[in-house]
Amino acid sequence: MNLKQALTASLLLAGSSLCAGAIVNIDKAPHKTIAPKVFIVSMFAPEAEAWWNIPEFNLLAHNISVPGLSPLFPEVHCTKDHEICQLITGEGEINAATTTYFFIAGIAGVSPRTATIGSAMFARYAVQVALQYEIDIRELNSNASTGYIAQGTDSPGQYPTNIYGTEVFELNADLRTVAANFARKANLSDSATAQAYRAHYKTPSGKYKAGTLAPGVVECDVATTDVYFSGNILGDTFENTTKLWTNGTGEYCATAQEDNATLEALLRSSMHKRTDFSRIIAMRTGSDFDRPYPGASAEYNLFEADQGAFGPAIENLYVAGIKVVQGILDGWHHTFAHGVQASNYVGDIFGSLGGVPDFGPGRKQALVEGGNLKKHSRVNLFRKTCK
């Protein structure tokens, strides 16, 4: 992952400054502290604009300039009462108050094995699937199923032994279900073109049955990669990677560019008690299938097919997302101010926030493979040598 400092500053400044109640200059008005209840994280203009000019609230009531934000999107937008704010990070896999809920809401590619275009997908795991060695599959033997090989290994299907720490993030599964249930109250948007396109995924085996259904709300997981890919080989590779790296628990359904970067920034902020990592919701709406229907080519799927789902996916960010935002606000005093207790592990592969990761080789071994304990051992050896 290219961890660019600019977006790290964007999230940490916007998240920790606003959410921790720091003093900021609001529309040139006197200094005032703000602590949003919900912080919407959008990635680019169409995703952000889905939340503007809606009847429930006006996100453009306050436009707050924060140093370090993207030059394309230099302001945080907030409602009049500052209960809801929005940050636009910019696209791509870059490093993107403890009572605030961060709601990551963007569009994504979708696997027809687990969901369909137009659906709203809520993640427990975000997996950085392309953080691997890669050999062009055309240069491998004819039996090769993929050109991706985990770092520190020499063949597919092995857990990485060189650990970066951003491979997998696990979110609050209980909060995910609460948010998904809010979204299930929505009447999701669709199009005639998308309905016709889904029909191509009907097969005798039914392996793409999920892809043929009408848009719905699905609890499944998101893969992060800057590679905007298309095809069965890569789709299967990243599906297998998601399953392997979550120790068999994760179920890949959505592919996006930003989530692991955003979550890494929020993890670092949570380590300093500026944000609460257990109050993050990650929702993606399906804008296109990650692989072609039987008989079509990967090139056709990526470059030519009119899947008719971009518009509905953008609309469903609001249609499904507004139910989540309203649910949090309506249940604030009864439930959400105190937080939704997670019954699962929450955090990264290193156990940086405490607890025992339920994926990976174990905290101690992950730290060793990440170089942490080796580094400290070298330092201690140097100190002993110099005495």
Collapsing DSSP to helix, strand or coil, 252 comes out as: strand
Which pLDDT value is given to residue 378?
A: 38
Give the domain range for residue 270: 39-61+93-131+166-355
Residue 303 in domain: yes
Count of Cβ atoms closer than 10 Å to residue 348 Cβ: 27
Residue 387 in domain: no
Which pLDDT value is given to residue 361?
A: 84
Collapsing DSSP to helix, strand or coil, 385 comes out as: helix
Which pLDDT value is given to residue 62?
A: 94
Say yes or no to pLDDT of 387 above 70: no
Say yes or no to pLDDT of 1 above 50: no
366: confidence class by pLDDT, cuts 50, 70, 90:
confident
Which pLDDT value is given to residue 13?
A: 41
Say yes or no to pLDDT of 31 above 80: no
Residue 99 CA: distances (Å) to CA of 19, 21, 113: 8, 10, 36
170 vs 6: which has the higher pLDDT: 170
Which pLDDT value is given to residue 191?
A: 98
Which pLDDT value is given to residue 72?
A: 87
Are 85 and 13 in contact, with CB atoms under 8 Å apart? no
Residue 349 in domain: yes
Residue 380 in domain: no
pLDDT digits over 163-190, tens only?
999 999 999 999 999 999 999 999 999 9
pLDDT digits over 326-349, tens only?
999 999 999 999 999 999 999 999
Which run of H or E residues covers position 330?
helix 310-330
Residue 82 in domain: no
Which pLDDT value is given to residue 32?
A: 64
18 vs 204: which has the higher pLDDT: 204
Which pLDDT value is given to residue 327?
A: 98
137: confidence class by pLDDT, cuts 50, 70, 90:
very high
Q: Pick the range with the lowest mean pLDDT from 87-96, 118-127, 204-213, 344-353.
A: 87-96
Give the residue from 198, 187, 183, 188 showing the smallest Cα distance to 308.
Answer: 198
Q: Pick the range with the lowest mean pLDDT from 13-17, 141-145, 328-332, 366-370.
A: 13-17
Residue 261 in domain: yes
Q: How many domains does the chain have?
A: 1
Q: Going by DSSP bridges, is the β-strand pair 75-78/62-65 parallel, antiparallel, or unpaired?
A: antiparallel
Give the residue from 226, 249, 245, 236 showing the smallest Cα distance to 147.
Answer: 236
Across 218-225, average pLDDT:
97
CA torsion sign for 275, 280, 286, 291 is: positive
Which pLDDT value is given to residue 381?
A: 42
Pull the structure tokens for residue 311.
């518009």
Which pLDDT value is given to residue 228?
A: 93
369: confidence class by pLDDT, cuts 50, 70, 90:
confident
Which pLDDT value is given to residue 89?
A: 84
- Tell me which amino acid residue 341 is: Q
Which pLDDT value is given to residue 67?
A: 77
Which pLDDT value is given to residue 70?
A: 80
Residue 342 in domain: yes
374: confidence class by pLDDT, cuts 50, 70, 90:
low
Which pLDDT value is given to residue 71?
A: 82
Across 258-270, average pLDDT:
95
CA torsion sign for 171, 177, 178, 179 is: positive
pLDDT digits over 309-332, tens only?
999 999 999 999 999 999 999 999
pLDDT digits over 242-259, tens only?
999 999 999 999 999 999
Instruction: Quote the CA–CA distance of 170 and 126 in Å, as a whole number.
Output: 7
Which pLDDT value is given to residue 66?
A: 82
Collapsing DSSP to helix, strand or coil, 130 comes out as: coil
Q: What's the CATH number where 197 sits?
A: 3.40.50
Which pLDDT value is given to residue 319?
A: 98
Residue 247 in domain: yes
Say yes or no to pLDDT of 144 above 60: yes
Give the residue from 72, 75, 59 showing the smallest Cα distance to 13.
Answer: 75
